[in-house]
Amino acid sequence: MREAPENPLKNYRMKVLHILDSLNRGGAEMLELDVCRNAAKNGLELAFAATGGGSLEEDFRNSGVRFFRFQRRLPVDPRLVARLRKLIKKHGFDVVHTHQPVAGLHAFLATRGTPVKNVMSFQGFIPDRKNRLITKFLVPRMAANVSCSHGLTEWLAEVDRTDVAGFRMIYNGVDRARLAYDGESLREELKLAPDAFLFGMVAHFYTDRRKDQITLCKAFARVADDLPDAHLILVGRIEPGAEAKYAECRRIVAENGLAARVHFLGQRDDLAKVVKSLDVYVFSSFYEGLPIALMEAMLSKKPCILSDIAPHREVSSDGEFAEVFETENADELAGKLVKLARDADFREDLAGRAYEFAVRTFSIEAHLENLKKLYETILNQ
């Protein structure tokens, strides 16, 4: 019998550079932070470069990988391209991995004429016209394009008209150690009763049609009288241009006399505390890749209610791991809120099933193992 050829990279420790254009708190940033913190112990020699700053910069500096800080000053910055090229050559990186079109373009230009392989991941950002054009230019020029869910791949093909032939799918991962919390709860912080029942959603208010806090506020208003001990927690910053969405949520709350029971907490850095304090996690969205916040909730053993979009259906597995409501249907969501609030046994069972599924599917270890396999494949080509 013929022996399989030996992998030429078996004893070679590949060098990988990840790049982000922003270090503000968001799904891609939290994913990258978990990757950086766990790369070495999972056998990946990784360095990280930022071409812009943000609230997580200090966390990245202390993440355990080599950190390089640049500043992009132009939409396409020749000086940044030259500095990235110098960095990549100096350290001998084999693979450069980006998550945003602007970072992907600078990485591509910095590696032209070199054997370095470029990888670009798609996380579910809704691109404007400029970024859509950059993406269409980059996709056929990448060694690999990675989608974070099958649902996102379908959306890219059907709605965004992206050529997804040859796309790889790798679920994002979450470091469970980051979710540990044993301090003051939100009930104590907000001076709520110890038995207050907390629904919650962690999502920014975006200008584009992405998150749907409005439907959640409408649904909560419908059930507030039936669930007198219930409160709603909304966490996330207000993106410039999204003020009207935030104002509409405030209006719904005020008109229904719920100002004392709906808590707008803005952006928080203590998300482990927030998620651990919730009884039910709600993710009401129009569009997603596959949100890190949802993975965090499942890995924190929280029962989830999700809007009916493809990536959410993919995670819920027809209701096995999460309850699903028709997108933008406040009445159906209200029914789900009551169902979970009134049935503790069902909540516990649903959360347990979701947790076991998430450990198998969304661990940072599984994510890094799949990344290593991808890098080895493209370097072997």
pLDDT number for residue 5: 55
- pLDDT score for 329: 98
**Do residue 297 and residue 367 come from a single domain?**
no
Q: DSSP states of 118-133 as a string?
A: EEEEE------HHHHH
Same domain, residue pair 276 and 333: yes
Q: Are residues 229 and 371 in the same domain?
A: no
Q: Tell me, what's the pLDDT at 240?
A: 94
204 lies in the same domain as 297:
yes
Is 125 within a domain? Answer: yes
Tokens linked to 78: 């020749």
Q: How distant is the alpha carbon of residue 104 from its chain centre?
A: 18
Query: How confident is the model at residue 269, as a pLDDT?
Result: 86
In a domain, 4, yes or no: no
User: For residue 53, is it within any domain?
Assistant: yes
Per-residue pLDDT tens digits of the chain, which is 381 residues long: 455 555 555 556 799 999 999 999 888 999 999 999 999 999 999 999 999 999 999 999 999 999 999 999 999 999 999 999 999 999 999 999 999 999 999 999 999 999 999 999 998 777 788 888 999 999 999 999 999 999 899 988 988 888 999 999 999 999 999 999 989 999 999 999 999 999 999 999 999 888 999 999 999 999 999 999 999 999 999 999 999 999 999 999 999 999 999 999 999 989 899 999 999 999 999 988 888 889 999 999 999 999 999 889 988 988 899 999 999 999 999 999 999 999 999 999 999 999 999 999 999 999 999 999 999 999 998
* pLDDT at site 10: 57
**Torsion angle (degrees, nearest 10) of CA 197, 249, 247, 297:** 60
Give the range of the structural domain holding residue 91, as residue numbers without chain letter: 15-173+363-380
Q: Which of 5, 7, 24, 11 is nearest to 237 (CA)?
A: 24
Number of structural domains the chain divides into: 2
Residues 186 and 293 in one domain: yes
Q: Taking Cα atoms as reference points, which of 25, 13, 76 lies closest to residue 372? A: 13
Tell me if 344 is assigned to some domain.
yes
Q: Is 346 helix (H, G, I), strand (E, B) or coil?
A: helix
213 within domain boundaries: yes
If asked whether residues 168 and 99 sit together in one domain, one would say: yes
51 in Cβ contact with 71 (< 8 Å): yes
- pLDDT at residue 1, as a whole number: 47
Under DSSP, is residue 56 helix (H, G, I), strand (E, B) or coil?
A: coil
Domain membership of residue 258 (yes or no) is: yes
In contact, 46 and 40? CB cutoff 8 Å: yes
Same domain, 288 and 335: yes
Look at residue 13 in the predicted model and tell me its pLDDT: 78
For residues 187 and 103, membership in a common domain is answered with no
Q: What's 217's domain CATH number?
A: 3.40.50.2000
pLDDT at 315: 87
Same domain, 138 and 192: no
What does 269-331 look like in DSSP terms, one character per residue?
S-HHHHHHH-SEEEE-BS--S--HHHHHHHHTT--EEEES-HHHHHHHTTTTSSEEE-TT-HH
Of the candidates 18, 163, 20, the residue with the CA atom closest to the CA atom of residue 96? 18
282 φ, ψ (degrees, to nearest 5)? -115, 135
Residues 100 and 160 in one domain: yes
- Residue 179 DSSP code: G
Q: Pairing state of beta strands 304-307 and 323-325?
A: parallel
- Tell me, yes or no, whether 195 lies in a domain: yes
Domain-located, residue 147: yes
3-state secondary structure of 225: coil
> Does 348 lie in the same domain as 373?
no
**Where does residue 62 rank: exposed (0-12), middle (13-18), buried (19+ CB within 10 A)?**
exposed
The reply to whether 193 and 121 lie within a common domain is: no
pLDDT of amino acid 3: 53
Distances (CA, A) of 76 to 11, 59, 68: 38, 27, 19
pLDDT for the residue 8: 54
Question: In whole angstroms, what is the distance from residue 319 CA to residue 38 CA?
Answer: 32
Q: Looking at residue 108, what is its pLDDT?
A: 98
Which DSSP category does 220 fall into? H
What is the C-alpha separation between 214 and 348, in angstroms, rounded?
A: 27
